[in-house]
Structure 1
Amino acid sequence: MNSVPVPLREAWLHWLRHDAAPLTEPRLGRALGLSRLLLVIGLVFLHYRFFPGSAHTPWDGFDPDQYQVATFVSSFLLFFFFSSVPLLSMVSGWLFFAFEPTDAQGALQKRIVRRVGTVYLPMVAWNALYLVLLLALFAWRPGAPLLGTLNVDFARAGAWDYVNALFGLTAHPIGFQFWFVRDLFVTALVSPLLWLALRHAPWLGLGVLGVAWLVGSNLGVFFRADVVLFFYIGGLLRTRGARLEIGPRATLVLLAVYVALVALRTLAPLFLEWEGSQRPLAVVLLTRLLRLAGALACWGLFVQLAATDVGARLARYAGLAFFVHAAHFPLIEAVKFALWPYLPAHGDAWLIAHYLASVLATVAITVGAGIALARAWPSAFALMNGGREAIGPKDGAGTRPALGRPELPPAL
């Protein structure tokens, strides 16, 4: 039974899809590819984190006391790209449950096994590479600023810390960004339970996961409930045959609302006060709900962009999304520290310039390295990229998720 009254739901869907062009398979493939590539680049912006030497965290919002413009820009973009993990997870769930109900057992087994090679083993390979390089840095310069940005303290780490650094069993791996990949893999492992909920109690399953997400529960096995909730939502859309079109007018309205909400959250320190990380409940809930609004707004944007020549060209590089995600941290921290001494002054304009230069340089390095490795050492690239091709076909279709085809490319 649907939880939303039929007339209200139908009116909402009519508005959402008004003037929407048919979402053909090539255009859908481009939209999915664009979502992976551009949202991963968004994560690079998000993982810039602090300005070097600053005690202010962008997770609070802008700093009303100093560098108001620069801290607004960094905090605004951080909150804007909070939509990345939800939408990437929804895409993954939508692709994952692309099988006939009669073939559920075999399809789920194949997908779980496949995720070992496309998600988990590449994560371990990257973490092993980072561990070797950063341990070498620690032996050479124990006080290097880059080491202070890691979640592993080499001076005090024990055996279990190194196990987690590689495998992310109970704590974040050394590549901080791989918390998402690890949770995505765990979500695949519990996918039979999600499938039972999708088939027999879809709204109850959504309610349980939604409440866990809102209250900040990790359900005992995840680092965060974001991934499993939005993966489930993607599966719910798939199993119910929901159309994914969003019209241009609705996209503009959704983006405007999302930008306004992000700006409001960024300016929260003007209206509310809190100490440390104990943010008011209203701020916590708004920050969480931003992710849901952002996923919808950004999907509409990618659907529109997929119909353009620019979108077709960009979608060809969707296969590099995993490589960029894997390679960007702690590289961005190294780039930040390398560029910081060349900053002429610590004013708003120069801080923003440093922020943009650090992110764009990191993206350029990771994309360039991925393409170079794919050409020079294809087998190594295949391992580090989970078997994904670096550049897609010239027609710009990117990943072409034929709706009736049971085997689909990995989502990230």
Structure 2
Amino acid sequence: MTRMPKHPGAAAPSRDDEAVLNRLASAEWDRAPGAGGGPLGHAPNAADLSRTIEVARVLLVIGLVFLHYGAIPPGWVSPFRGVDPDAPHRVASFVNSAVLFFFFSAVPLLSTISGWLFFRFSEKRVWPALRRRIGARVRSLYAPLVVWNAVFLLALLALHATGEGASLLRQMNIDFDHADGMAYVNAVLGLTDHPVAFQFWFVRDLFLTALLSPLLWLSLRHSPWLGAIVLGGAWTMDWNLVVFFRADVPFFFYLGALARLRGYLPMPSGRATSALVAFYVGLVLLRASAPLLVDVDAPGTAWLLDFATRAMRPVGVLACWGVCLRIAAAPWSGAVARHSNFAFFLHATHYPLIAAVKLVLWHVLPAETDVWLLAHYAASVAVTVLLSFGAARLIAAVSPGLYTFLAGGRDIRVPSRA
């Protein structure tokens, strides 16, 4: 754990992330005792930290694409339960479920990073700074959410009108044959239910967390640990605080903010990262194996498994953060980090795109074996990422301003600065 200068909220007086990182680089970091001997075996400077955040964004969003592959055809048994004991191809079912559980750490880590970056202003002008940040989140989070979901809704309505695509439409978060007016409102705005592109639940909850940031600030300033206990208790008990879809976002956002304002940054060494990853992978494999070990349909078992799955996530956050630190230190990390400005666009487009790609590629599957099912899994993710990247490049070439808006304010043509 690296200690930063303990000046709550004073990490940067500027609105610019680059200014934040430059300030952190200006000899304000202390050396991390016991850190590993690699390039990041010390407290990171501005470039180290920015590179790590860029790497994290890219890899975690790609992880979400894997997570949203969903059930393997033709059985369509949810991988959220774990391996399907009755599946004729248990290896593919197990791998799918294990990868899904591994990337359950993606949203918590992204939320933690968001909270750490959000509170980067001087305490002397807290309320104007919060107003600016909330306004910026309207433009970078909620406005793209509305536009993207409106586009997806219109496209799916057009498909429904043709009478085709029943297999795809069954997977969507709206039933056009029975939807009422509120269902259409939520499909676009995500007010009380998930939007039609359901991955935007995270963007919606992140935006709502930003709206509530004045309350979070008061808690962080006057009763930081009480706020952590309340939010952590809600998250542990799977209570989504009425207004959120999942308590992961406000809780881990708060933890990121708390770490920032208390002056700490986790910096696991190479050895500690290896131990964390090994431990986390062991937990993931055990959770994916649960249906082989216990009766998952027995009374109370589902709740215990859900609790265990949540309890794994903090370990996953530290493990994945450590991995991102190691990757950022590698000479080839620039090849990953330079795509950071593509991460939001990929998050926005990957569903229902991957659902359609999965169905198309299923028709060309040579045989239903474990090897081919896993190949279908990997190919579906790869094709989805490539199609999304191609669409990003095309839109950016035709209208850079439109791309920047659709990508949450990030210009694909310029390097990211976290």
- What is the TM-score normalised by the length of structure 2? 0.89
1:203 alignment partner, one of 225, 239, 242: 225
Cα contact 1:315–1:392 (8 A) shared by 2: no
Aligned residue identity for 1:254 = L
Q: Is residue 417 of structure 2 the alignment partner of residue 399 of structure 1?
A: yes
2:81 alignment partner, one of 43, 60, 65: 60
* 1:3-402 mapped onto 2 (5 Å cutoff): 17-19=35-37, 20-66=41-87, 67-141=89-163, 144-275=166-297, 279-393=301-415, 398-399=416-417
How far off its partner does 1:385 sit? 1.1
**In structure 2, C-alpha distance between the alignment counterparts of 1:142 and 1:173, rounded to whole Å:** 22
1:5 maps to which residue? none
CA 1:276–1:392 in structure 2 vs 1: closer, same or farther (change >3 Å)? farther
**In structure 1, C-alpha distance between the alignment counterparts of 2:63 and 2:299, rounded to whole Å:** 24
How far off its partner does 1:329 sit? 0.1
Q: Deviations over 1:281-301 (max 9, x none)?
A: 431221001211111000001
How far off its partner does 1:373 sit? 1.2
CA 1:277–1:160 in structure 2 vs 1: closer, same or farther (change >3 Å)? farther
Aligned residue identity for 1:265 = R
How far off its partner does 1:310 sit? 1.8
CA 1:44–1:278 in structure 2 vs 1: closer, same or farther (change >3 Å)? farther
How far off its partner does 1:101 sit? 1.7
CA 1:152–1:307 in structure 2 vs 1: closer, same or farther (change >3 Å)? same
Cα contact 1:392–1:399 (8 A) shared by 2: no
CA 1:371–1:260 in structure 2 vs 1: closer, same or farther (change >3 Å)? same
How far off its partner does 1:255 sit? 0.7
**Structure with the larger RCO, 1 or 2 (CA within 8 Å, 6+ apart):** 1
SS in structure 2 at match of 1:171 = coil
- More deviation in 167-176 or 337-346? 337-346
For structure 1, the residue ranges without an aligned partner over 5 or more in a row are: 1-12, 401-412
**In structure 2, C-alpha distance between the alignment counterparts of 1:25 and 1:144, rounded to whole Å:** 50
CA 1:99–1:148 in structure 2 vs 1: closer, same or farther (change >3 Å)? same
**In structure 1, C-alpha distance between the alignment counterparts of 2:163 and 2:298, rounded to whole Å:** 31
SS in structure 2 at match of 1:22 = coil
**In structure 1, C-alpha distance between the alignment counterparts of 2:164 and 2:185, rounded to whole Å:** 21
Identity of aligned residues (%): 49
Q: Tell me how large the CA RMSD over aligned residues is.
A: 1.6
- More deviation in 358-367 or 368-377? 368-377
Cα contact 2:205–2:244 (8 A) shared by 1: yes
Aligned residue identity for 1:232 = Y
How far off its partner does 1:211 sit? 0.8
- What is the TM-score normalised by the length of structure 1? 0.90
**In structure 1, C-alpha distance between the alignment counterparts of 2:180 and 2:100, rounded to whole Å:** 33
**In structure 2, C-alpha distance between the alignment counterparts of 1:254 and 1:224, rounded to whole Å:** 25
How far off its partner does 1:313 sit? 2.1
1:6 maps to which residue? none
SS in structure 2 at match of 1:324 = helix
SS in structure 1 at match of 2:79 = coil
For structure 2, the residue ranges without an aligned partner over 5 or more in a row are: 1-31
CA 1:278–1:322 in structure 2 vs 1: closer, same or farther (change >3 Å)? farther
SS in structure 2 at match of 1:98 = coil
SS in structure 2 at match of 1:389 = coil
How far off its partner does 1:279 sit? 4.0
**In structure 2, C-alpha distance between the alignment counterparts of 1:383 and 1:83, rounded to whole Å:** 27
How far off its partner does 1:65 sit? 2.6
How far off its partner does 1:379 sit? 2.0
